Structure 1
Amino acid sequence: MDTEPLRAAPFRRLWTSTVVTATGSQLTAVAVPLQIYDDTGSSALVGLAGAAALVPLVVFALWGGAVADLMDRRRLLLVSNAGIAVTSLLFWAQAATGVRSVTVLLVLLAVQQALFGINQPTRTASVARLVPAGQLPSATALISTVGQFGQIAGPLLAGALVPVLGLSVLYLCDSLALVAALWAVWRLPSIPPLKVAARRAGLADIVAGFRYMMRMRLLLVSFLVDIIAMVLGMPRALFPEMAQLDFGGPEGGGSALGVLYAAIPAGALLCGLLSGLYSRVHRHGVMVVLAISVWGLSIAGFGLSGPLWLAAVLLAVAGAADMVSMVFRGAILQSAATDEMRGRMQGVFTVVVAGGPRLADLLHGTVGAVAGTRPTVVGGGLLVAVAMPVLVAIVPAFWRYTAAR
């Protein structure tokens, strides 16, 4: 793994705060639906929590990206991190005092996701100001790897803590983690706008960001390829049914379901540990196209797989390909976007990353109910693989894109 960017103290502090929050945030991500289901016994209300989280995340990621382009990003990180810590404390307070209100949970979740929508594009837009341009792939890999680590370690830790210490402890642990992250952010240097004087961000700034993205076809394609990969090729909505009917798991979960959910982030994490290879590659466009093609073919293979171990291997390969795509798309975004637009582009990136899998859940769940799980998964994966050469033919500049040495 290439740890060269960690030699820069400011990036190391930003990365450290990400390590802490990536794991801690997953504790709350597990605790909220678990508490809703324990209180109501309704999976429909658990699903409603997803909608309550997505809408403010999308709105405030776009607005937060615009704000990040117009004010000191360190200050914005401090404000948003502090706000997320306060909401986690409120989560803990309502759980510890026995408040059994879904409305309170949904309101707190919406507020927290709005703050996360501001924090995430600000955090990622800061990376290019903290490391040299040649280290952007490695820095992006380091950030992405700890995110994948959090997706694995957080739920495992939550599962271990709940039976022993109780649900409210998850919220409290997240709060403590966020306080530690806040200290790391406090020690960052000031990251003011390079060209734009501080002012309020409005709708016109968000619209200007979208116009900029439409003019910069390279950036537009980098978003489009991820939408194609996630919407057509992310079959997680079908995992519960496939775990039971195709891989012999019991009703209500079991090890087969756990393996399916864990395989993609596990493959991504393992690939992230090989990030020392990324800095040697300069054909970033080629790497994105090839990685997403491998993702699609691996997902199609998963749909055709027989034994559970083979399904897990193919999903892990897909996760590794997704990590490669994420690293080089992130590097393209950091280097191709100007600093005064970088926050807004990261806001769009946050929306794409958060919204794509949720649209995939809707698409795969609907089509899978009609066509069956395996045909849906195989068809979606193959469509991803076919779409890549078509997109390259339409926008060959993306395939030819080479990072500055």
Structure 2
Amino acid sequence: MDTSESSTEPGSEGPAPDGAPRRGLRRWAMDTRPLRRPAYRRLWSSTIVTAVGSQLTAVAVPKQIYDITGSSAWVGAASLAGLLPLIVFALWGGAVADIMDRRKLLLITNTGIAVTSVLFWLQAVTGLESVAALMLLLALQQAFWGLNAPTRNASIARLVPEDELPAAKALGSTVMQTGQVVGPLLAGALIPVVGLAELYLIDALALCVTVWAVHKLPALPPLAGTAARRAGVREVVAGFRYIAGHKVLLLSFLADIVAMVLGMPRALFPQLASETYAGYGEGLALGLLFAAIPIGAVVGGLFSGAYSRARRHGWMVIGAVVVWGAAVAGFGLSSSLWLAVAFLAVAGVADMVSMVFRGAILLSAATDEMRGRMQGVFTVVVAGGPRLADVLHGSAGSAFGAREAAAGGGVLVVVVMLALAAAMPALRRYRV
């Protein structure tokens, strides 16, 4: 795609001045050029609020289900209850995002998520104590989120030029990863003070800010010349055919599947905290293990200035996945908690690099009429991969031991990713 095309599409607000060349340590600092563009800045600012607010609900729902049932099995069942709506509506939502004004769709879906949060609050304050109601609301929330996520991501390429896409993805991903660290910590601090119900209410109020920010965006209708069509099964299938016909897109998805399914070790954290790192304190060990990858990702985002200078996006993805696998293998071999946390943090940095460049490839290598569907598949892969990894690693940890399962998964990631890169050169050759 020609960079000049992105800067003149509807919704773009003209090129921002680049200023003086970035030198010294500034070359590594986060590239904030996309924030000079008012439309992107509004979209990104709304993400700051919801990144933390959504985590409050993400903590409150399983906590409330456990309080009602006293069973972790019900907590796991609730997670699965939200997965199917997420998959279905992310795929369909990507098709919808390709045929209607994306700003309007963002307004509808963010409002729907906010109303769902209000319903979560109402059931909590009225003392309903119904697991079925919680699971139904969770399914509804995930359906709205499935519609929202591909629309939001597909809109970015209409708000910034192509050369700023890696920076824009780094800015958004860093905020989301920060929310995964700050949100649960804030929820843990607030629950004893204000209670579960108020966490839902805070999330609902935060979403009102998001709706206002989206309302201020420019209209983002389909580009002129896009054929009129309906968002049905045929369009979803056409999206998969488009991926199959563009090897660089297919490989970008496969790279994430390889990294997450074979190498995401989070299901092993409780076993490792209880067995391998119990001497450090089981609670401390578990908290550090869960926090290490998001913290590493945030660090990777803060020092993402080099991303904008990279042109071989395919090699960046390959290298990041290989580093992820090697770091996970090192984590599995570590008998020291602090060394294990350090390896997981390195894995988090690699995950951020992979996320940024895979996202940039999807936005730059796909046409605008296909971006929504590409982001729909991206949403499904990102959400579904770690859940499959939980099943695989949990089973392997029980059969072979947690450290062996983690190390073996990391080695598999490295081997499979290098084999894919060698067998299918399209990703190696891709550059902007």
What TM-score comes out, normalization by structure 2 length? 0.92
AA of the residue aligned to 2:337: L
1:94 to 123, 127, 136: 123
1:234 to 264, 279, 289: 264
Q: Residue 193 of structure 1 aligns to a residue in which SS?
A: coil
Q: Displacement of 1:250 after TM fit?
A: 8.5
Check if 1:371 corresponds to 2:400: yes
| 1:249–1:255 contact (8 Å) kept in structure 2 | no
Q: Displacement of 1:17 after TM fit?
A: 1.0
* Structure 1 ranges of 4+ moved more than 2 A: 195-200
Q: Distance in 1 between matches of 2:165 and 2:228?
A: 26
Q: Distance in 2 between matches of 1:93 and 1:72?
A: 32
1:243 to 270, 273, 279: 273
**Unmatched 5+ residue regions in structure 1?**
none
Q: Which deviates more, 189-198 or 277-286?
A: 189-198
The percentage of counterpart residues that share the same residue type is: 66
Equivalent residue runs for 1:288-307 within 5 Å:
288-307=317-336
AA of the residue aligned to 1:95: A
AA of the residue aligned to 2:425: P
Q: Distance in 1 between matches of 2:171 and 2:65?
A: 34
AA of the residue aligned to 2:214: V
Check if 1:119 corresponds to 2:148: yes
AA of the residue aligned to 1:275: S
1:53 corresponding residue in structure 2: 82
* Cα distance per residue 1:251-296 (max 9 Å; x no partner): 9x51100000000000000110012111011111111101100000
Q: Distance in 2 between matches of 1:377 and 1:42?
A: 27
2:57 corresponding residue in structure 1: 28
Give the alignment's Cα RMSD to 1 decimal: 1.0
* Cα distance per residue 1:14-52 (max 9 Å; x no partner): 101111111111000000000000111011100001101
Q: Distance in 2 between matches of 1:156 and 1:110?
A: 25
1:221 corresponding residue in structure 2: 251
Tell me the matched-pair count: 402
What TM-score comes out, normalization by structure 1 length? 0.98
Q: Displacement of 1:249 after TM fit?
A: 5.8
Q: Displacement of 1:200 after TM fit?
A: 3.2
Q: Which deviates more, 12-21 or 29-38?
A: 12-21
Q: Distance in 2 between matches of 1:229 and 1:295?
A: 7
Q: Residue 99 of structure 2 aligns to a residue in which SS?
A: coil
1:343 to 359, 367, 372: 372
2:388 to 335, 339, 359: 359
AA of the residue aligned to 2:351: D
* Cα distance per residue 1:157-189 (max 9 Å; x no partner): 100100000010100000000001110000000
1:176 corresponding residue in structure 2: 205
AA of the residue aligned to 2:261: V
* Cα distance per residue 1:184-232 (max 9 Å; x no partner): 0000000011133555310000000000010011100000010000000
| 1:56–1:117 contact (8 Å) kept in structure 2 | yes
2:137 corresponding residue in structure 1: 108
* Cα distance per residue 1:50-81 (max 9 Å; x no partner): 10111100000000000000000000000000
Equivalent residue runs for 1:260-271 within 5 Å:
260-271=289-300
Q: Distance in 2 between matches of 1:105 and 1:259?
A: 29
Q: Distance in 1 between matches of 2:279 and 2:216?
A: 48
1:332 corresponding residue in structure 2: 361
Check if 1:5 corresponds to 2:34: yes
AA of the residue aligned to 2:273: A
Q: Distance in 1 between matches of 2:196 and 2:391?
A: 29
Check if 1:200 corresponds to 2:230: yes
Q: Distance in 1 between matches of 2:47 and 2:369?
A: 23
AA of the residue aligned to 1:201: A
Equivalent residue runs for 1:379-398 within 5 Å:
379-398=408-427
Check if 1:259 corresponds to 2:288: yes
1:166 to 195, 206, 209: 195
Q: Distance in 2 between matches of 1:341 and 1:280?
A: 26
1:210 to 235, 240, 245: 240
AA of the residue aligned to 2:221: P
| 2:181–2:295 contact (8 Å) kept in structure 1 | yes
AA of the residue aligned to 1:305: S
Q: Distance in 1 between matches of 2:388 and 2:305?
A: 33
**Unmatched 5+ residue regions in structure 2?**
1-29
Q: Which deviates more, 237-246 or 195-204?
A: 195-204
1:65 corresponding residue in structure 2: 94
Q: Distance in 2 between matches of 1:77 and 1:250?
A: 46
1:85 corresponding residue in structure 2: 114
**Distance 1:38-1:198 versus aligned 2 partners, 3 A rule:** farther
